[in-house]
Structure 1
Amino acid sequence: MDKEKTTKRMYREKLNATAKQRYLEKLCEINQIDPYELSAGEWSRDMNALPPCTYMDMVNYLVYGVSYYTKQQFKCYKSLESHEQFCCGWVQDLQIYKPGGCKNTVVLAKVMHSQRLSQPPLTPWVILAPSGEVVSAHCTCMAGVAESCTHVGALFFKVEASVPQ
C-alpha cells in the first residue's frame, strides 16, 4: 500500500469519537466511500458531471442548514464572504466523483489557507444531490468538522462557476 493512501486513511482516525461518527454518517450518502481514500485516477475533471449547484443552494446550506452538533441553523454568513478566496484563485484542482449506484456526487478541491499561505492547501469536499442541493460538506480545517467553514464556501463558489450553462 502506498504512503499517500495510508496517510489519507488515517484522516478519520484522527477525529474525536463524535466527529468520527458524524463523518461516517456523511459517507452513507455516497455508499460509504471516503473521498480522502480515493486515488487520483478515480476522480473526474469533467465539469459536465457537476450537478447544477447554484448560489441559493449554497445559501440554503451555509445559512439555513442545521448543524448536526448544535441542532441550530448554521447562520454561517462569513462563509459567503469566501467568494474572495475563489476570485483570488485560491480554489484549485476541482475533482468530481459519482459513486456507482449512488444518486449523489462528491466534489473536492484544494483551497489555500486564508491566513497561512505557506501551509499545504486544505481539502474540503461536498456531497451534492442531483438537483444541486447540498447534502453535506466537510473540510480538513479545524472548523470544517463543523461542516460550514470558509473553505467549503469557496469550494461552492468554484462549483457554481464551473457548472456548464
Structure 2
Amino acid sequence: MAVHTAHLNPTEKERYLSKVSILGCDPYLIPATVFCPLTSAKRLPQLTFPDIYIYLIHNPSPYSRDSLRAFKSTDAYQYSVAGWVKEARIWHLELQKLYVIIAHVHHSQALSTKLTWPWIVVQEEGTVVMAHCTCMAGLGEVCSHAAALMFSVLAAVDRREGQTCTEKPCAWSKPSDKHVMYKELSHIFANQDQGKTQDPWQHMRPSTDEFKSFCEQLHQSEDQEVKPKKSAILSVIEGHSHRYIPRTVQLNLPPPLTNLYSSTRLDLNLPTLLEEGAKVFVELYLSTEQVSNDSDIPCLTSPLIRKRFIP
C-alpha cells in the first residue's frame, strides 16, 4: 500500500483496493515515466461537461448508494482557471480503454500547505469511472481537487478540438503521386468522360479569323504605334509581338561602358592603368547613327562629343 493510503481504516482501504483492482495497479505506485504531460498528449478521452456533471451529481455513492449530489464541486473549474492544477499527467491503458490522469492541486484555503494529489480514471468515450484524492474529502471521490483535475482534462480536450487543420499534426492529406499533364486553358474544362467526344464548349470558342480580328481591333483601339501603353496580351500574339521588342534591341546603340571592365586591370599600377585608360579613350568610336539613336542622352549630343568621336 502506498504511503498516501497507509492512514486509511480497513473499510476505506477495502474501497481503495476495489478501485485499484479495476486498473490492476495503484496510480500512486506507477512510475512517472509511464505518464506523459497532459498538454502534450496525442490522445485524450472524449470528456465533456455532461460527463463531469453526471459523475459529480448523479453518480451513486460507494457507501450509501445515493446520488453524490456534489454541487459545490462543480465550481472547481475555477481551480483549473486559476492555475492551481499542477503537473497534470495522463496514461492510456489501451487494452482496458481507460485513461489514468494524475496531478497536484493546491488547497482552496491554504495555498502554502502541501499540495493534494488526486487521480481520476476516465473511459475513452468520456465516462468518469472513479476518482481519489489525498485530501480529507478525497474518500468521498467527489472532492473539489479531483473535480478540478477533470476540468483541466476538459480544457485540454477543448483546445485540441478547437485547433485548425494546420495546427494538428498530419492533418493534411498526402499529395497524390499521379503525374498531371499540362493542358491548354481551352481544354481544361472539356468533357473528359469516355465515349463523349463532342466538345460542349465549342460554341464558345472563337474561330481563328475572329481571334485575329479581335487582336487587330484591340491594337487599333489603343493606337499602339503612338501611345507607349500597350496591351500585354498582344506581346505574345503573332503579328503583334514585333511591336514589343525593346528599343535597345531594335536600335544600333554603342556597347555599354561596363564592357570595358576586366579583372586583369585590378592588378595594374597607376601609370599602367592611366596608359590603358588613354588607349581606350582613343579607340572609342561612335557613329552618327548611334548618336541619333541615343539622342535622349545630352552628353552624347554635345558639340565636344561630336567633334571628338563622330567622323
Match of 1:4 in 2: none
Cα 1:34/1:161, change in 2 over 3 Å? same
Question: Does 2:33 align with 1:33?
Answer: no
Which runs of no fewer than 5 residues in structure 1 stay unpaired?
Answer: 1-7
2:76 to 73, 82, 86: 82
Match of 2:47 in 1: 53
Match of 1:145 in 2: 139
Normalised to the residue count of structure 1, the TM-score between the two structures is: 0.90
Q: Distance in 2 between matches of 1:100 and 1:57?
A: 20
140-149 or 102-111: bigger deviation: 102-111
How far is the alpha carbon of 1:54 from its aligned partner?
A: 0.8
Match of 2:106 in 1: 112
**Amino acid corresponding to residue 71 of structure 1 in structure 2:** R
Question: Does 2:95 align with 1:101?
Answer: yes
Q: Distance in 2 between matches of 1:20 and 1:100?
A: 27
1:159 to 140, 153, 157: 153
Q: Distance in 2 between matches of 1:49 and 1:123?
A: 23
| Contact 1:110/1:124 (<8 A) preserved | yes
How far is the alpha carbon of 1:100 from its aligned partner?
A: 5.9
How far is the alpha carbon of 1:41 from its aligned partner?
A: 1.1
Q: Deviations over 1:56-107 (max 9, x none)?
A: 1000000010100111100000000111111111011110112463221101
| Contact 1:49/1:96 (<8 A) preserved | no
Give the superposed CA RMSD.
1.4
Question: Does 2:12 align with 1:11?
Answer: no
Which runs of no fewer than 5 residues in structure 2 stay unpaired?
Answer: 162-311
Q: Distance in 2 between matches of 1:75 and 1:44?
A: 32
Q: Distance in 2 between matches of 1:123 and 1:112?
A: 9
Q: Distance in 2 between matches of 1:88 and 1:36?
A: 25
Higher strand share: 1
**Amino acid corresponding to residue 12 of structure 1 in structure 2:** T
- Max Rg structure: 2
1:136 to 130, 134, 141: 130
Helix, strand or coil at the partner of 1:60: helix
Helix, strand or coil at the partner of 2:58: coil
**Amino acid corresponding to residue 55 of structure 2 in structure 1:** Y
Higher helix share: 2
| Contact 1:107/1:125 (<8 A) preserved | yes
Helix, strand or coil at the partner of 1:158: helix
Q: Deviations over 1:12-42 (max 9, x none)?
A: 2221111111111111221x21111112211
Normalised to the residue count of structure 2, the TM-score between the two structures is: 0.49
**Amino acid corresponding to residue 150 of structure 1 in structure 2:** S
| Contact 1:92/1:111 (<8 A) preserved | yes
How far is the alpha carbon of 1:130 from its aligned partner?
A: 1.2
Q: Distance in 1 between matches of 2:91 and 2:20?
A: 13
Question: Does 2:60 align with 1:66?
Answer: yes
Helix, strand or coil at the partner of 2:129: strand
Helix, strand or coil at the partner of 1:127: strand
Q: Which has the higher contact order (CA 8 A, sep 6+)?
A: 1
